[in-house]
Amino acid sequence: GAGVSQTPSNKVTEKGKYVELRCDPISGHTALYWYRQSLGQGPEFLIYFQGTGAADDSGLPNDRFFAVRPEGSVSTLKIQRTERGDSAVYLCASSIDGGGDTQYFGPGTRLTVL
């Protein structure tokens, strides 16, 4: 079956621009997570969705970051007024119900802010 997919695979933007990163989870998975991975680091939690609602957004670094999942499937991570420090790989993962079950990761979107 299809795994988690993310688009685009690479995104290069200029400082101050707005970007959207998309995640398509495994069909039937109600839990969806966004992470950010910087070079040489482990994934860092950003936000967790259970269905359509953000159950935990405590990892979002500031109010320039926002994520939605309007129909409980596809999710979009939105970053306003990008800064060079936002450059990283953004990972999406999904799991069946979020109750400690296994997360399956997508290939990530590499964001570069010039």
User: Per-residue x/- mask for another protein, residues 52 to 91, rule CB under 8 A?
Assistant: ---xx-xx-----------------------------x-x
SS3 (DSSP) at 83: coil
Q: How far is CA 11 from CA 8, 17, 52, 68, 114, in A?
A: 6, 12, 26, 19, 11
Q: How far apart are CA 59 and CA 77, in angstroms?
A: 13
Q: Tell whether residue 25 is a contact of another protein (CB under 8 A).
A: no
Tell the smallest beta-carbon distance from residue 58 to another protein (Å). 8
Residues of this chain that interact with another protein (CB under 8 A) are 31, 33, 40-45, 48, 50, 55-56, 58-59, 89, 91, 93, 98, 100-108
